[in-house]
Chain A
Amino acid sequence: MKAIRILAPTLYIIFLLLPIYWLLNMSFKTTNEILGGFSLWPREFTLANYAVIFTDATWYTGYLNSITYVALNTVISVAVALPAAYAFSRFRFLGDKHLFFWLLTNRMAPAAVFALPFFQLYSAVGLFDTHIAVALAHCLFNIPLAVWILEGFMSGIPRELDETAYVDGYSFPRFFTRIFMPTIASGIGVAAFFCFMFSWVELLLAKTLTSVEAKPIAATMTRTASTSGYELGLLAAAGALTIIPGAVVIWFVRNYIAKGFALGRV
């Protein structure tokens, strides 16, 4: 029993890390070495692939673009989801349950369905190829998720908290920002984490809504397939760098994830 407890997570983590190791391994090889044959570690260790990415503007602006729209999306999603989740957890109003399910249905809409209409819509309002366009488009699936998560956390907070604050003479905005938001801080952390995650990993809409100015890194990567055959080393280095922002975010929210859900709708 004890052995299984240690063995199972260890094996699982090895299973998770092997492909990532292989990516790193590839990224430190020259393309010639990669195509030349199979080797478990780089024989001619090189940083050339990374050097290309950090010196070529078409590469590194891809990262900046992605980070810009993901940050915008996370802020917008959480900011508008907070009052909405509060309403769903505290008030009964006309059509509330239908509205809640309708919001969730948008989380179920396949991006492939919306790709073409989104392109037309955002072109029509003159936002095509801007960061804000992608940030707004990702709200389609991130707002419902943020409302869903935050509503769970808020429902776990007893109403007495609200009432006591009003008795003490707090106005609603002051109560909401000074007392309520700190109380559900871990919920906000979890919601922001999920918004970041789903916006960072999505490509279809981000690619459809941009061409040059706001092109995401993930779309830049598809370029390596077409120019001068397959530049696998470069592709691997670019891929390895896309893992870093996610890893940094996980490190910051690691305590919220376990504790956060436990406090929430469980």
Chain B
Amino acid sequence: MARKTTDQKGWLFVAPVVALVMFNAAIPLMTVVNYSVQETFGDNVFFWHGIGWFQDVLQSERFQAALGRQLLFTGIILAIEVPLGVAIALAMPRKGIWVSVCLVLMALPLLIPWNVVGAIWNIYALPDIGLFGRVINELGFDYNFTQSPFAAWFTLIVMDVWHWTSLVVLLAYAGLSSIPDAYYQAARIDGAKRWAVFRYIQLPKMRRVLTIAILLRFMDSFMIYTEPFVLTGGGPGNSTTFLSIDLVKIALGQFDLGPAAAMSLIYFLIILAFSWVFYTVMTRHEGN
């Protein structure tokens, strides 16, 4: 790490970024805060409502259920994507033409617009004319993601694994390719087992990229909206209504600005808290 000097002109360098992000973040955020403490009966007349909306949201079963589903979904996809991504990165070739081919093919799903991802999986998983749905039904399982909550969850999870595992693979692979060959030779001389090589050489070298990968996956899966909206529309029933879908229903569907704003802030704070804890734990040993 390059050493740093104390120099207040650093602010000059960050000024454009601060200005742009302020415009985009601070003004809308204040709008949300405004709505969250007021009640309106239309005509742009607002009344002070204090923390009432926050209490309503936190106590509503609807919010708790959506939060529960969200936590479960994020937990499952992190538990699958991170180990799978690392395993595939470990198995990938290190040199030669195949590296480029693998990387390009694997990155493909990452660059497909999210609603197209939903549309692709929709036609792929249809029980009658979709390859995925058809094969599962041929195997003797009764599978229809528009009717059974379990099938809907299963489809969403497979879709997310399909969509995002490559991000973990790319980052983990980049971490692995930074390990000098000398490390492996030293390990071989010492007679290290495969597991020991992974635990004491590869894993520590991947820690920083894995931090980025897990943080990005956590944030994005917690904010997931477009793919389930296109694929299941939050159903069947409310079984795949995650926080973002619920929020958009309340804010843009019912136009309940107060509760929607309060829910937005609670939602944002939850992500912030998780990310901060995670960021602190993962970077604790670095000691800048």
User: Which A residues lie at the B interface, using CB under 8 A?
Assistant: 4-5, 8-9, 12-13, 15-20, 22-23, 26, 34-35, 37-38, 40, 76, 80-81, 83-84, 86-94, 96, 99, 101, 103-118, 120-121, 136-137, 139-140, 143-144, 147-148, 152, 154-159, 197, 200-204, 217-218, 221-222, 232, 235-236, 239, 242-243, 245-247, 249-251, 254-255, 257-266
- The minimal Cβ–Cβ distance linking A35 to chain B, given in whole angstroms, is 7
- The minimal Cβ–Cβ distance linking A223 to chain B, given in whole angstroms, is 12
**Whole-angstrom distance between the alpha carbons of A26 and B116 in the complex?**
14
- The minimal Cβ–Cβ distance linking B201 to chain A, given in whole angstroms, is 13
- The minimal Cβ–Cβ distance linking B32 to chain A, given in whole angstroms, is 6
The answer to whether A201 touches B114 (Cβ under 8 A) is: yes
CB-CB < 8 A to A250: which residues of B?
103-104, 107-108, 111
The answer to whether B92 touches A9 (Cβ under 8 A) is: yes
Contact of A218 among B113, B205, B260 (CB under 8 A): B113
CB-nearest residue of chain A to B207 = A266
Whether a CB of chain A sits under 8 angstroms from the CB of B251 is: yes
**Whole-angstrom distance between the alpha carbons of A4 and B205 in the complex?**
23
Other than the known A92-B10, A258-B103, what 4 A-B pairs have Cβ atoms closer than 8 Å? A76-B20, A93-B6, A201-B110, A254-B104
Whether a CB of chain A sits under 8 angstroms from the CB of B186 is: no
- The minimal Cβ–Cβ distance linking A10 to chain B, given in whole angstroms, is 9
The answer to whether B112 touches A242 (Cβ under 8 A) is: yes
CB-CB < 8 A to A86: which residues of B?
13
Give the one of A9, A34, A89, A106 with max B CB within 10 A: A9
CB-CB < 8 A to B195: which residues of A?
none
Whether a CB of chain A sits under 8 angstroms from the CB of B5 is: yes
The answer to whether A112 touches B123 (Cβ under 8 A) is: no
- The minimal Cβ–Cβ distance linking B245 to chain A, given in whole angstroms, is 8
Tell me which residues from 11 to 33 in chain B have a Cβ below 8 Å from any Cβ of chain A: 11-14, 16-18, 20-21, 23-25, 27-29, 31-32
The answer to whether A108 touches B120 (Cβ under 8 A) is: no
Main secondary structure of the interface of B (DSSP, over half): helix
The answer to whether B130 touches A261 (Cβ under 8 A) is: no
What 1/0 mask marks residues of chain B from 63 to 92 whose CB sits below 8 Å from any chain A CB?
000000000000000000000000110011
Contact of A249 among B20, B111, B120 (CB under 8 A): B111
CB-CB < 8 A to A99: which residues of B?
14, 18
The answer to whether B100 touches A140 (Cβ under 8 A) is: no
Whether a CB of chain A sits under 8 angstroms from the CB of B45 is: no
A-B contact pairs, 27 of them (CB 8 A): A8-B87, A19-B121, A22-B120, A38-B134, A81-B17, A87-B10, A87-B12, A91-B6, A92-B7, A92-B10, A104-B279, A107-B219, A110-B225, A113-B247, A117-B31, A140-B25, A203-B226, A204-B248, A222-B115, A235-B123, A243-B108, A246-B108, A250-B107, A250-B108, A251-B104, A261-B170, A266-B208
Count of B residues near A, CB < 8 Å?
97
Indicate whether A84 sits within 8 Å of B91 (C-beta atoms), given known contacts A201-B111, A254-B100, A262-B174: no
Indicate whether A257 sits within 8 Å of B111 (C-beta atoms), given known contacts A93-B6, A139-B21: no
- The minimal Cβ–Cβ distance linking B135 to chain A, given in whole angstroms, is 10
CB-CB < 8 A to B222: which residues of A?
110
Indicate whether A262 sits within 8 Å of B248 (C-beta atoms), given known contacts A200-B111, A203-B226: no
CB-CB < 8 A to A263: which residues of B?
178
CB-nearest residue of chain B to A260 = B174
**Whole-angstrom distance between the alpha carbons of A139 and B129 in the complex?**
40
The answer to whether B32 touches A16 (Cβ under 8 A) is: no
Indicate whether A247 sits within 8 Å of B223 (C-beta atoms), given known contacts A137-B24, A221-B119: no
**Whole-angstrom distance between the alpha carbons of A137 and B260 in the complex?**
21
Give the one of A18, A218, A236 with max B CB within 10 A: A218
**Whole-angstrom distance between the alpha carbons of A245 and B189 in the complex?**
47
CB-CB < 8 A to A148: which residues of B?
212
The answer to whether B106 touches A140 (Cβ under 8 A) is: no
**Whole-angstrom distance between the alpha carbons of A88 and B129 in the complex?**
53
The answer to whether A80 touches B111 (Cβ under 8 A) is: no
CB-CB < 8 A to A243: which residues of B?
108, 111-112, 116
Whether a CB of chain A sits under 8 angstroms from the CB of B244 is: yes
Contact of A110 among B106, B109, B120, B267 (CB under 8 A): B267
CB-CB < 8 A to B8: which residues of A?
93-94
Give the one of B93, B115, B166, B208 with max A CB within 10 A: B115
CB-CB < 8 A to B134: which residues of A?
38
Of B51-59, B146-154, B268-276, the one contacting chain A is: B268-276
